[in-house]
Amino acid sequence: MTVDKARRRVEWLAQAGILTEALPFMRRYSGKTVIIKYGGHAMGDASLAELFARDVTLLKQVGINPIVVHGGGPQIGEMLTRLAKESEFIDGLRVTDKETIDIVEMVLSGRINKQIVAALQQAGGYAVGLSGKDGGLIKARKLTRTVKDPESNIERHLDLGFVGEPTEIDPTILETFRDTRLIPVIAPIGMGEAGETFNINADTAAGAIAGGAGARRLLLLTDVPGVLDKQGELIRELTVSQAERLKDEGVIHGGMIPKVQTCIESVRAGAEAAVILDGRLAHVILLELFTEHGSGTIIRPD
């Protein structure tokens, strides 16, 4: 046997060993629903996007029920710029007037949604694109924000336009895909009582769907490794009360606060656990689900 053949044989045996070690975890999640929020760097990097599609397709093929909820802030901003439409942000949320919501829906439910569907198809999967309006999946209401004048201490309500928050999740349409080969890909668009269209933060939408569907896991793909302690080290596991305490102590701060809050609300609404993951890491979904220690920060009920 040549050195090259011997090396390949060692590599094959190593791959077989990895598959064997992953088998108990595949059984653990077989038949269970996993909600994956897809966005950020993971969605903008072509090589990571290809790996993401292959990994999600693998989940379906081993008997797991993956559901993808995607964002698209940069792509929306790009389209608004092309159309000479200026954007205004309040607390990180895009103020969305009637003209803007039409553009947002076009970009999210059209261009981005179908790109992800196409990528999953290319990876050997069978995917279907939806928005939260389909089948009444996400019922929403207008999101309000208040600001307090530091001098007068008077609160003022801000009008964000057609920015919404979920009020009710009806997972019926998702249940119709559960025992099929189809992978749902959901744009975070909701519908109000009067038929209005609302743009919903993708993390928030994914968390609400995970809670409403009683998902085994909510996976939030971000641009950070997870929740970090005061020394900058990754915290691998938190209970809801521990996460609340770290927020109060300022350990969890800045942009991590809304992500952790999404996880907490998702768990309280019915998800078994929620995980904040680094979407910049190749195969991060598989590392989280199919290895003993996972990859990010998992938040569980108390």
What is the domain-level CATH number for residue 128? Answer: 3.40.1160.10
Residues 88 and 38 placed together within one structural domain of the fold = yes
Q: How many residues does the chain have?
A: 302
Q: What is the pLDDT of residue 294?
A: 80
d(CA 125, CA 106): 24
**120 and 39 fall within a common domain:** yes
Digit-by-digit pLDDT tens for the chain (302 residues) are: 565 665 665 555 455 555 667 677 778 888 999 999 998 778 888 899 999 999 999 999 999 999 999 999 888 889 988 988 887 777 667 788 899 999 999 999 999 999 999 999 999 999 999 999 999 999 999 998 776 666 666 666 777 889 999 999 999 999 999 889 999 999 999 999 999 999 999 999 999 999 999 999 999 999 889 999 999 999 999 999 999 999 999 999 988 999 999 999 999 999 999 999 999 999 999 989 988 878 899 999 99
Instruction: For residues 260 and 139, state if they share a domain.
Output: no
**Judgement on whether residues 182 and 243 belong to the same structural domain of the protein:** no
Whether residues 143 and 250 share a domain: the answer is no
* Total domains in the fold of the chain: 2
Helix extents (H) in the chain: 3-29, 40-44, 46-61, 73-82, 98-105, 113-122, 172-175, 202-213, 240-248, 256-269, 284-290
Angle between helices 98-105 and 73-82 in degrees, nearest 10: 120
What order do you get walking across the sheet with 297-300 strand by strand? 126-131, 182-187, 65-70, 33-38, 217-222, 274-278, 297-300, 237-239
pLDDT at 293: 77
57 class by beta-carbon count within 10 Å (0-12 exposed, 13-18 middle, 19+ buried)? buried
pLDDT for 125 equals: 96
Task: Find the domain containing 180 and state its range.
Answer: 32-194+208-215
Whether residues 115 and 245 share a domain: the answer is no
Same-domain check for residues 102 and 53: yes
Residue 293 lies in a domain: yes
pTM of the model: 0.89
Looking at the fold, whether 162 and 233 belong to one and the same domain comes out as no
Helical spans, DSSP H, in 194-239: 202-213
